[in-house]
Structure 1
Amino acid sequence: MSGMEAWYMDESSEDQRLPHRLNPNQPVSREQLQNIGVYYWKLNADIYENDPELQKIREERGYSFMDIITIHPDKLPDYGNKVKMFYEEHLHLDDEIRYILDGSSYFDVRDKDDRWIRLAVSKVVRLRIAINRSYGGRQEVMSSSETAESSQLTNEVSLQR
């Protein structure tokens, strides 16, 4: 995989590192993702420190903070407990960018009908805007869970305002 692919997830409680595709697969389009606040760009991860496209995104969206995390048992202190946190649903109240420099990861988000969508990403900027939205008179906050595939070394840059 190079970039990003998205699909509706099955309801299985099996190992969360598995793809969890419906059978038959139900892909999710870029337009569907944008409708729920998920935007992504394919950038050159090998030049992220000086990438003019990434700099443009940062300037346009007002991102000033950046950190890098390597999700790997040999690199991340307390790996087991930290990875468990990725499996739990949690809220992001601010815009969030994840830039995958190496390896791959899953990000799971809910659509407006409360169905889970899995995004498989590698070497791509993935922006998810978490904002309060109103559907049918009720307020909802976008939520997500993140799964780092254990067999992949994932270097992830986190950008925030």
Structure 2
Amino acid sequence: MVKAWYMDNDPSDQRLEHHRTPPELISLEDLFKKTGVEYFSLNVNTFKTDGVLDQLKKERGYTYEDEITCSKECLQNYEEKLKSFYQEHLHTDEEIRFVLDGSGYFDVRDGTDQWIRIAVTAGDMIIIPSGIYHRFTLDTNNYIKAKRFFIGEPVWLPYNRPADEMDCRKEYLDKLDKGFVSVY
């Protein structure tokens, strides 16, 4: 089950949880209200046959998917890739990840520009909205395997901060101001 909390601004290893005191967890409802990030819990043992993922894909229009494995053994230029994933950026499309195995962290900015860390493990599916500043890193296990979903052909271009003049950023800020509405 996913956990989310506000991060310290600790400059130490990005793969650590980053808190000196026990974190105050943020509920999934508050995570959505503060960021627009949506969460779904899927069964990694039955998702191919139980219809839950198929229904989500149909309702949201996801037509393309692939898998990515991030580990020292499986990812070319591992250290450079991790650095690029951890660079604060946004995308013009949603970023959808369904964790099949392993674990990691997605960090997202809230409306006051503070970092919220989202710890994901097998069975967690998160949808990061278009236009939100975010980043990804592995945790100290240094391994994650995930499905990625796209509407149409995959477009995975990161736009590093600052990218405030982009339409997707302006649209995101408008939704943040007016309040996010879940499709569920």
Shorter-chain TM range is: 0.7 to 0.9
Match of 2:7 among 6, 9, 13: 9
> What is the aligned partner in structure 1 of residue 150 from structure 2?
160
> What is the aligned partner in structure 1 of residue 159 from structure 2?
none
Tell me the number of residue pairs that the alignment of Structure 1 and Structure 2 aligns.
149
> What is the aligned partner in structure 2 of residue 133 from structure 1?
none
Distance 1:22 1:127, change over 3 A: farther
CA contact (8 A) 2:16 2:140 kept: no
CA deviation string 1:94-134 (max 9, x = no partner): 1121011001010000001111000000011111122xxxx
Deviation at 1:59, TM superposition (A): 0.5
Identical amino acids, percent of aligned pairs: 40
Deviation at 1:21, TM superposition (A): 2.5
CA deviation string 1:1-25 (max 9, x = no partner): xx20000000111110010125352
User: More strand per residue: 1 or 2?
Assistant: 1
CA deviation string 1:48-97 (max 9, x = no partner): 44441111111000011101011111111221211111111110221121
Deviation at 1:31, TM superposition (A): 1.4
Distance 1:58 1:92 in 2: 19
CA contact (8 A) 1:6 1:118 kept: yes
Deviation at 1:150, TM superposition (A): 4.5
Distance 1:153 1:24, change over 3 A: closer
**Superposition RMSD on alpha carbons, in Å?**
1.5
> What is the aligned partner in structure 2 of residue 129 from structure 1?
129
The residue identity in structure 1 corresponding to 2:100 is: L
Runs of at least 5 residues in structure 2 that lack an aligned partner in the other structure: 152-184
CA contact (8 A) 2:103 2:141 kept: no
CA contact (8 A) 1:8 1:22 kept: no
The 5 Å alignment of 1:66-81 reads 66-81=65-80
> What is the aligned partner in structure 1 of residue 154 from structure 2?
none
Distance 1:63 1:22 in 2: 39
> What is the aligned partner in structure 1 of residue 23 from structure 2?
25
Query: 3-state DSSP class of the match of 2:12?
Result: coil
> What is the aligned partner in structure 1 of residue 167 from structure 2?
none
Distance 1:18 1:75, change over 3 A: same
> What is the aligned partner in structure 2 of residue 118 from structure 1?
117
CA contact (8 A) 1:5 1:121 kept: yes
The residue identity in structure 2 corresponding to 1:80 is: E
The residue identity in structure 2 corresponding to 1:160 is: F
Query: 3-state DSSP class of the match of 2:15?
Result: coil
The residue identity in structure 2 corresponding to 1:18 is: L
The residue identity in structure 2 corresponding to 1:9 is: M
